[in-house]
A and B are shown apart, each in its own frame.
Chain A
Amino acid sequence: MLSYIIQRLFLMIPTMIGISIISFAIIQLPPGDYLTSVLAAMADSDVNFSDEQIAKMRANYGLDEPMIMQYVKWIWGIVSRGDFGYSFEWNRPVSELIWERMGSTLSISLLSLLFVWAVSLPIGIYSAVNRHSLGDHIATFFGFLGLAIPNFILALTLMYVSFKYFGQSVGGLYSPEFAEQPMSWAKFVDLLKHVWVPVVVIGTAGTAALIRILRANLTDELNKPYVLTARAKGLPEHTAILRYPVRVALNPFVSAIGWVLPQLISGITITAIVLNLPTAGPLLLRSLIAQDMYLAGSFILLMGMLTLIGMLLSDILLALLDPRIRFH
């Protein structure tokens, strides 16, 4: 088991490097660099610098070094000191800006994952066992609908509906009166009142997808001879189904962390922008528009790493769940 985990970790390294390269590429992608936009802004207000001054600033920011050196420096800074670079727009180190935002991103993603599991498991089992029943058709239809509605449209619709019919604004994570207060029970309750909206919005597509996968897998498993063996043993129907085929069909459920998590993080990015949540999304968009690239790149890097860790966890869970993987 330990060697299996180590093996997985080793396999992750090239992917990690790939993700960091992509993130760095995004940092480098906009034409010119940060200095160009600063200078342009300065020029607008009639402040001009001599070439010598510009070159000095370039060296200051490390912008005069070759691309590979800049990449290596950036990565080394992250690995050795947790230094993600400097946000030129906020005039603060990136690391001061991202952690809180990433924390709330992660918490909402995890909440959504729990929501996805909690909803899709019973519905998926019901659909597979009662194939082509009325309930199954309804679940299938809503599944398709859930997959078809883009996150931000769902968020906007929920916002509109709750505003129009309940006279309530659902943006943000806290009501204005709690926003600046320290954490308390009342604040927590207020949080729960708000947090369900993003959780439902982000989780819907994943739930729909997982229901379909579970239904398909479980349908396959239900036709396997070992289910007949379980029934022939004299087990009651629900025990025979829950203990055997459902147990085997859970595999894709666990491996879903690997692909649902990127979806959730992707979903929360845009949903947070619509609902104005204090997560990574709005800040990322703002930094991209302002071309504050170290901040933007760091967000993208961390989001990639997060899904990678999710995949690792799902692999480990899968091995715990399924002896066939564990023993290979």
Chain B
Amino acid sequence: MKKHGSEIAMEEDKPKITRLTDGAGSDIEVAGQWRLIWLKFRQNRVALFAGWVIFFFYGVALFCEFLAPTLPTVAQPRLTYAPPQEIGLFIEDETGQRRFQLHVNGYAMTVDPESLRRSFTSDPANIIPIGFFVRGEAYDMWGLIPMDRHLIGPLDPSDQMNLLGTDKLGRDMLTRLIYGARVSMSIGLIGVISSLIIGTVLGALSGYFGGWVDLAVQRLIEIISAMPTIPLWLGFAAAIPLTWSPLQVYFIITLIVSLLAWTSLAREVRGRFLSLRREDFVTAAKLDGSSTGRVIFRHILPSLTSHILAVTTLAIPTMIVAETALSFLGIGLKPPVVSWGVLLQDAQNIRTISSAPWLLIWPSLAVISVVLAFNFLGDGLRDAADPYDS
């Protein structure tokens, strides 16, 4: 637009600049909000990587039946607290030749004569060949399609492969961890959607109308945020009747978690609404004759969505941690449901942890990496959410 004639043209018509990188080009001028946000977000490598991590975890949650080597309920009574196995790449056959074959070593069991506790060590003589897309336990993909192929598993279905060890009933940790992803990750998502709805509606009402509506919502937010969350979650969760089905418990836990988490969303939405309501372009829209609905949905909400997205992303890890904590304490989800919190429930006392540390390590790592990834992603989104401030 520099060629426009009515702006003064002089010897120099702009400050002198030396470009260090190739400029993004003139398409910036016709780039809408989401493209600008993406261009800004893209520069944040950590957030981008975190995005991929989250994508990966949701992928695992979606295809857990196929990805897991077996079923989470399959117990191996002879293999309780068996340690993780390592994957070997080459085996030597009788002639002493090395050839490529993925495998794990079977277990050798010793029994402590005094405590009668069994312990397992790796037995190099017992080679269990493993492979991809093997037949194993039959399952219904998404509860619909009967299948029996698993991404990875022992070639002979009667062999044991426990890459991350087993729990107190000899169930495969890797399988349970993968199934746990489905429950834990989805609780975060469903929880955040319900708190998003509550938060946005109340926040927008309170921000747009102000007055006593605002006052009432503000008090409510204040009360809820003054309460320490865990005791309150405990209080609500303890009231869930023991007779309820796992699915009912799942939904009520989601609801409890989101009931307390909407406040930060509502605050954000309200604050943005309040400041946007006073923006000149909103006044201009009103004077243009736009109805209240049009002002909100066409002029204010588009400026909010990116911020809401960022805050939402930052709220998901809170939900995941909440579920994990409640289940860990034994008043959230309960077996036979498999979630990361339920898995951690087995790692409650120091004796179990010290003899089978994998019960603590793997679910914890899963929780921490997901929470970390969501935080990095949310932070990146928040920084990119307003591409218009200088």
Task: Report which A residues bind B (CB closer than 8 A).
Answer: 14-15, 18-19, 22-23, 26, 29-31, 144-145, 147-153, 156-157, 159-160, 163-164, 169, 171, 259, 262-263, 265-267, 269-270, 273-274, 284-285, 288-289, 291, 296-297, 299-300, 303-304, 307-308, 311
Contacts and interface: CB of A to CB of B under 8 A. Distances in A.
Given A30-B239, A153-B344, A288-B331, A14 B219 contact: yes
A307 B226 contact: yes
B65 to A, nearest CB: 27
Contact of B325 (A150, A157, A307): A150
Nearest to A20: B223
A156 B347 contact: yes
B81 to A, nearest CB: 15
A45 B138 CA distance: 45
B248 to A, nearest CB: 14
Interface string B55-79: 0000000000000000000000000
Nearest to B238: A288
Contacts of B367: 150, 153
Given A19-B223, A144-B375, 17 more contacts: A18-B220, A18-B223, A19-B227, A30-B239, A31-B239, A148-B317, A149-B371, A150-B325, A152-B344, A159-B350, A160-B353, A163-B350, A163-B353, A263-B228, A288-B238, A289-B330, A296-B235
A259 B225 contact: yes
B236 to A, nearest CB: 7
B229 interface: yes
A127 B227 CA distance: 31
Interface string B307-339: 000000000010001001100111100000000
Chain A contact surface mostly: helix
B240 to A, nearest CB: 9
Given A22-B223, A29-B239, A288-B331, A262 B229 contact: yes
B329 A285 contact: yes
Given A30-B239, A150-B324, A156-B360, A145 B372 contact: yes
B314 to A, nearest CB: 10
Nearest to B373: A148
Interface string B28-56: 00000000000000000000000000000
A267 B321 contact: no
B228 A29 contact: no
A273 B329 contact: yes
A285 B234 contact: yes
B376 interface: yes
B360 A29 contact: no
B108 interface: no
Interface residues of B, number: 41
B44 to A, nearest CB: 13
Contact of A29 (B220, B236, B372, B376): B236
A238 B220 CA distance: 43
Contacts of B372: 144-145, 148
A289 B228 contact: no
Query: Which residue of A153, A164, A171, A267 has the most chain B CB atoms within 10 A of its CB atom?
Result: A153
A271 to B, nearest CB: 10
A169 B100 CA distance: 46
Nearest to B344: A153
Contact of A148 (B229, B357, B368): B368
Nearest to A296: B235
B291 interface: no
A19 B231 CA distance: 13
Contacts of B354: 160, 163-164
Given A145-B372, A160-B360, A266 B238 contact: no
B222 interface: yes
Contacts of A15: 219, 222-223, 226
Contacts of B360: 153, 156-157, 160
Contact of A156 (B225, B241, B353): B353
Given A30-B239, A163-B350, A171-B350, A149 B227 contact: no
A261 to B, nearest CB: 8
B95 to A, nearest CB: 43
A22 B232 contact: yes
Contacts of B232: 22, 26, 300
B373 to A, nearest CB: 9
Interface in B341-389: 344, 347-348, 350, 353-354, 357, 360, 364, 367-368, 371-372, 375-376
Nearest to A109: B228
22 contacts: A14-B219, A18-B222, A23-B235, A148-B368, A150-B325, A152-B328, A153-B364, A153-B368, A156-B344, A156-B364, A157-B360, A159-B350, A163-B354, A164-B357, A266-B230, A274-B348, A285-B234, A285-B329, A288-B235, A300-B232, A303-B228, A304-B228
Given A160-B354, A270-B325, A288-B234, A144 B229 contact: no
Contacts of A156: 344, 347, 353, 360, 364
Contacts of A291: 238
B226 A269 contact: no
Contacts of B222: 15, 18
Nearest to A160: B353
B228 to A, nearest CB: 4
Contacts of A29: 235-236, 239
Nearest to B232: A300
